[in-house]
Amino acid sequence: MRYAYFSGCKIPHHLPEYGASVQALCSALGITLVPMEFSCCGWPIRHENPVASAYSAVRNFALAEREGLSILTPCKCCFGNLKHAQAKMQQDARLAAEVGNLLGKEGMRLPGKIDVHHLLTVLDRDVGAKMLGELVRSPLSGVKVACHYGCHALRPGNVTEFDDPLAPTVFERILSATGAEMVHWDLRLECCGHPLRGRDDTISNALMRKKLENARDAGADILATGCTYCQMQFDQERHRIHETGDGTKKPTAVLFTRLLEAALGLAPRPF
Amino acid sequence: MTVFRILLVLACCICLAGIVRRFSRRHKETAFAPAGHNHEKSSPSGRSFATALADILLLRRTARTSMYRWVMHTLILIGFTGLLVFHALDDIIGYPFIPGYESTLDPWQWLRNLFGGMALAGIVLAAARRMGNARLKTFSRRQDWLLLAVIGGIMISGFLLEASKIISPNVFNRMTESYFLPEDENDIPALQAFWSAHNGVIFTPPASTDATLIAKGEELSANNCNYCHSPTASAFLSRALATAIGPAAPALNAANADLGLWYLHIVLAFAALALMPYGKFLHPVATPVNLAVRGGSHSARPPLETTAARKVGLEACTRCGECSLHCSVAPAFAAIGNADILPSEKLVSLRGYATGTLSEHETDAFAEGSRICTECLRCTQICPSGINLQDLWLSSKKSLKHRELDGPNTTIRQCNAMQWAEVLSAQGKSRFEQIKGDGLADRAESFWGCVQCTTCTSVCPVVAVSEAPAKDLDLTPQQIMNLLRMGLKDQTLAARMVWSCTTCYKCQEHCPQNIQVADILFELRQIATERMKERKLTACPLPAATSGRFSAAPLPPETKKPEGGKA
């Protein structure tokens, strides 16, 4: 189990704890993460320039192909954009030619099909929920977890091929192994609001508030995230919505890898 | 020597003026906003004297990313410092403090060749690096080449000067006239024969090669010259050069080449001194200071809090280009071509932005480069000068945002959708649209299947958080599809729904007719951005309407204060 590790741009400065947690978890589970100097996935620039976005993504495939590795990323927005670029290369010959031309200037060629996986998929496929369950040392019994799926991995389903876009199960399947109780809530497939952060903070805040309230009403203690941006939204940006109440701020946003680390006895409970 | 004095004073004056000018440059107060990542736990900064020293003297940060650069820069650092201490400043350091010091005695003569050779080798490696890397070559500026030319010129002229003195009978004569009292008429020819045979002086006509005369000359030299002169062979590079230029010796000697080369050498050395406060000539001073201040930190911590700390960082760049060679968004630079996307170039513009000297056009380029930066920290981790680039970017980006210079997303919200429809349609399609041909939004077949069932609107989370979507969002997704179906693309380009789409793709996933709703909204933003960029629309050209400006839309009651401290 060797993968080219695509951390994405935000982890090193904005969310280093996710990077540390992913590394620790993967090394405990025998998943080898090969560090590579990837460029941006192209997601942030997709609003303004389709060529720059596609070239950013495809260049990474060329790098991974050189090493003969599939890509693994813990970020759903990186995952989504890499998959999107892959689909675009198939559909848009003109764009593919432009990207091929830019690659040529760097002495690279258009890569063949490179597999891109989100960490959840790798855990599900290479390790499996059953195996994870057997490795659990300190089960999270009694903890109610609401899984927050993250839009860009899920949709459009025909492009991302992540899980059933209308009724996904992989997140709950993996976290059930920890012994925690999975909460059913209506808005689990909705947007966290982070894509509008800095673009339209009003709507971004409203989307975040709505989701947090829905998860809280469903009884969740923890809102589990599997994406750098979702976690930044529900943790670092949360102060913007001025929650009232007892100050316990339920549900707390926790990166799913940290929940797994705690259950496997690799780290103390993060909440 | 008066020429020397005059030039020295002149160089010092220019240098002083430059220092005053550089450090009196004031930063605009609005150029930086506090980085404000107060949610971050402060981690141990790893400040330590030893770390800073390793970074400064052993160039440890350089070694991490490129051994080539480390070798290159170490050669220059040791070579140049050695020459500065034991050669350039010998009136101040050598003669007063080293007993028996004489520049033409070993080990000093030998060391000078060693140091000069090291520095020159480093300069050659540096020039080869800039020539050899296509990207580095494109953003190498005049000052990059000037520094290499001046320092390289000092080394080359130094070697040529020494070589021309070795071969020069004029220099020989000057020395014997001043320091040698011949006792018989054979003394001078004997000394000439020895210096010609052993020390490389080239006389016209050639000196005698008679062995007894040479032996006599050796004795005379031992008694009269050796207390001040080691054999020229120890100046190993200059002596080799002297042999190489031997065939041209008569001409060079006749033209007094050593005098000309002396002028060239000191003029170049004084030029370096005069230029020291300008551009990257300052880095031998600014970079060590910055490395000491940063104490070995490779992250954005400790954050920069004072203007002085920022200034040191801004001045410490050596323009080595390592950050730009490793930049995460360098592919965007390759596609768009704005050099300000690359950190080393953006830093130059940031200096201008901070002092308020950027033109409108340059400010746009700087803003675009800043916007595209993903804050991935890589440049900060890599920077061999230890500049806290991350902090500079975070705070300048905040400043750009505050001044509404941060790009189309902000600009488009300065007028309402109707106003923009008028402005953006005025000159028809952008060049980009024309080259690219019809996109999803132009093609009728994209919408053939649309039955206006409103599924896209009813699943949209943005519509769902709005109390009055028609007013807040200008158009709903289904209305946008309808306008596009009718060929009214320009009317949709600035709708708040387009710009405040959260890109969750629910509309597209749920559409029973498989219409690529979210992809179309992406395309509309790209088209509007292209038109604004091409027409240099960095602010709404119409007087902002009092109603209908995006940011003035009514908010859901509980979110009326989007900004504020921690809850």
Residue A141 shares a structural domain with residue A246:
yes
Residue B531 shares a structural domain with residue B414:
yes
**Cβ contact (<8 Å) for A238 and B567?**
yes
> Taking CB atoms and an 8 Å cutoff, what residues of chain B touch A150?
none
> Taking CB atoms and an 8 Å cutoff, what residues of chain A touch B499?
199-200
Contacts of B525 (CB under 8 A, 6+ apart): A47, A48, B408, B498, B499, B501
**Cβ contact (<8 Å) for B377 and A166?**
no
**Cβ contact (<8 Å) for B332 and A209?**
no
pLDDT tens profile A119-151? 999 999 999 999 999 999 999 999 999 999 999
CA angle B325, B62, B394 (to 5 degrees): 60
Closest CB to A102 among B335, B499, B503 = B335
CA dihedral for B334, B336, B338, B342, sign (positive or negative) = negative
Q: Which residue from B149, B125, B117, B118 is spatially nearest to B67, judged by alpha carbons?
A: B125
Residue A151 shares a structural domain with residue A233:
yes
Residue A96 shares a structural domain with residue A133:
no
- Classify burial at B214, counting beta carbons within 10 Å of its beta carbon; exposed 0-12, middle 13-18, buried 19 or more: buried
Q: How close does chain B come to A133, measured CA to CA in Å?
A: 32
> Taking CB atoms and an 8 Å cutoff, what residues of chain B touch A9?
328, 374-376
Residue A26 shares a structural domain with residue A56:
yes
* Dihedral (Cα; B555, B557, B562, B564), 10-degree rounding: 160
Domain boundary among A98, A119, A140: A119
Residue A105 shares a structural domain with residue A152:
no
Asked if residue B547 has pLDDT above 80, the reply is: no
**Cβ contact (<8 Å) for B508 and A156?**
yes
Find out whether B254 and B170 touch, Cβ atoms under 8 Å: no
**CA-based nearest residue in chain B for residue A92:** B439
Residue A184 shares a structural domain with residue A236:
yes
> Taking CB atoms and an 8 Å cutoff, what residues of chain B touch A165?
509
Residue B544 is predicted with a pLDDT of 67
> Taking CB atoms and an 8 Å cutoff, what residues of chain A touch B521?
none
Residue A269 lies in a domain: no
Arithmetic mean of pLDDT, B365-369: 97
Residue A182 lies in a domain: yes
CA angle A28, A30, A36 (to 5 degrees): 100
Residue B542 lies in a domain: no
How many cross-chain Cβ pairs, A to B, lie less than 8 Å apart? 169
> Taking CB atoms and an 8 Å cutoff, what residues of chain B touch A210?
461, 464-465
Whether A168 contacts chain B with CB within 8 A? no
Residue B345 shares a structural domain with residue B453:
no
Closest CB to A48 among B328, B375, B408 = B408
Asked if residue B389 has pLDDT above 70, the reply is: yes
Arithmetic mean of pLDDT, B408-433: 92
**CA-based nearest residue in chain A for residue B371:** A45
Residue B328 lies in a domain: yes
**CA-based nearest residue in chain A for residue B525:** A47
Query: What is the CB neighbour count within 10 angstroms for residue A64?
Result: 24
pLDDT tens profile B19-47? 888 878 777 767 887 655 444 444 444 45
Residue A83 shares a structural domain with residue A139:
no
- Dig out the tokens for B87 from the structure: 């050669």
Residue B418 shares a structural domain with residue B340:
no
DSSP for B256-307, written as a single string: THHHHHHHHHHHHHHHHHHHTTSGGGGHHHHHHHHHHHHTT--SS-SPP-SH
Residue B10 lies in a domain: no
Residue A202 lies in a domain: yes
Residue A230 lies in a domain: yes
Residue B486 shares a structural domain with residue B531:
yes
Residue B364 shares a structural domain with residue B413:
no
Domain CATH number, residue B435 = 1.10.1060
Q: How close does chain B come to A131, measured CA to CA in Å?
A: 33
Domain CATH number, residue A220 = 3.40.50.11810
Residue B382 shares a structural domain with residue B445:
no
Domain CATH number, residue A115 = 1.20.1050.140
Distance CA B78, CA B19 (A): 25
Phi, psi of B91 (to 5 degrees): -70, -25
* Most A CBs within 10 Å, among B434, B500, B505, to test the A interface: B505
Phi, psi of B511 (to 5 degrees): -60, 120
ipTM for the whole predicted complex goes beyond 0.90: yes
Residue B453 lies in a domain: yes
Residue A110 lies in a domain: yes
Closest CB to B525 among A40, A47, A242 = A47
Residue B371 shares a structural domain with residue B473:
no
pLDDT tens profile B261-303? 999 999 999 999 999 998 889 999 999 999 988 888 888 887 7
Whether A101 contacts chain B with CB within 8 A? no
Whether A161 contacts chain B with CB within 8 A? no
> Taking CB atoms and an 8 Å cutoff, what residues of chain A touch B39?
235-236, 239
Among the residue ranges A165-174, B41-50, B353-362, the one predicted with the least confidence is B41-50
B236-244 and B108-132 helices, crossing angle to 10°: 70
CA angle A77, A203, B492 (to 5 degrees): 85
Whether A87 contacts chain B with CB within 8 A? no
Distance CA A33, CA B5 (A): 64
> Taking CB atoms and an 8 Å cutoff, what residues of chain B touch A49?
332, 335-336, 526, 529
Residue B495 shares a structural domain with residue B520:
yes
**Cβ contact (<8 Å) for A9 and B328?**
yes
Asked if residue B551 has pLDDT above 80, the reply is: no
Residue A139 shares a structural domain with residue A259:
yes
**Cβ contact (<8 Å) for A56 and B331?**
yes
Residue B336 lies in a domain: yes
Confidence label for B558 from pLDDT (cuts 50, 70 and 90): very low
pLDDT tens profile B429-481? 999 889 888 999 999 899 989 999 999 999 999 999 998 888 899 999 999 99
How many structural domains is chain A composed of?
2
> Taking CB atoms and an 8 Å cutoff, what residues of chain B touch A242?
561, 564, 567
Residue A51 shares a structural domain with residue A155:
no
Confidence label for B560 from pLDDT (cuts 50, 70 and 90): very low
Residue B33 is predicted with a pLDDT of 74
Asked if residue B65 has pLDDT above 80, the reply is: yes
Domain ranges, residue A163:
129-264
Letter string b/e over residues A147-171, b meaning 16 or more CB atoms within 10 A of that residue's CB: bbbbbbbbbbbebbebbebeebebb
Domain ranges, residue B516:
409-535
Query: What is the CB neighbour count within 10 angstroms for residue A228?
Result: 26
Residue B104 lies in a domain: no
Residue A245 is predicted with a pLDDT of 66
Closest CB to A207 among B330, B461, B529 = B461
- Dig out the tokens for B250 from the structure: 């008569």
**Cβ contact (<8 Å) for B329 and A45?**
yes
Residue B465 lies in a domain: yes
**Cβ contact (<8 Å) for A47 and B500?**
no
How many structural domains is chain B composed of?
2
Whether A56 contacts chain B with CB within 8 A? yes
Among the residue ranges A30-34, B92-96, B339-343, the one predicted with the least confidence is B92-96
User: Which has more confidence, B377 or B296?
Assistant: B377
Residue A133 shares a structural domain with residue A115:
no
Asked if residue A25 has pLDDT above 90, the reply is: yes
Distance CA B494, CA B419 (A): 9
Residue A270 lies in a domain: no
Residue A134 shares a structural domain with residue A235:
yes
Find out whether B369 and B349 touch, Cβ atoms under 8 Å: yes
Distance CA B290, CA B312 (A): 6
User: Which has more confidence, B388 or B204?
Assistant: B388
* Most A CBs within 10 Å, among B431, B463, B504, B538, to test the A interface: B504
Arithmetic mean of pLDDT, B354-360: 93
pTM above 0.80, yes or no: yes
Among the residue ranges B256-260, B305-309, B514-518, the one predicted with the least confidence is B305-309
Residue A167 shares a structural domain with residue A60:
no
CA angle B34, B37, B42 (to 5 degrees): 115
> Taking CB atoms and an 8 Å cutoff, what residues of chain B touch A203?
462, 465-466, 500, 502
Residue B52 is predicted with a pLDDT of 83
Whether A106 contacts chain B with CB within 8 A? yes
Q: How close does chain A come to B410, measured CA to CA in Å?
A: 7
Whether A240 contacts chain B with CB within 8 A? yes
Residue B41 lies in a domain: no
Letter string b/e over residues B363-375, b meaning 16 or more CB atoms within 10 A of that residue's CB: bbbbbbbbbbbbb
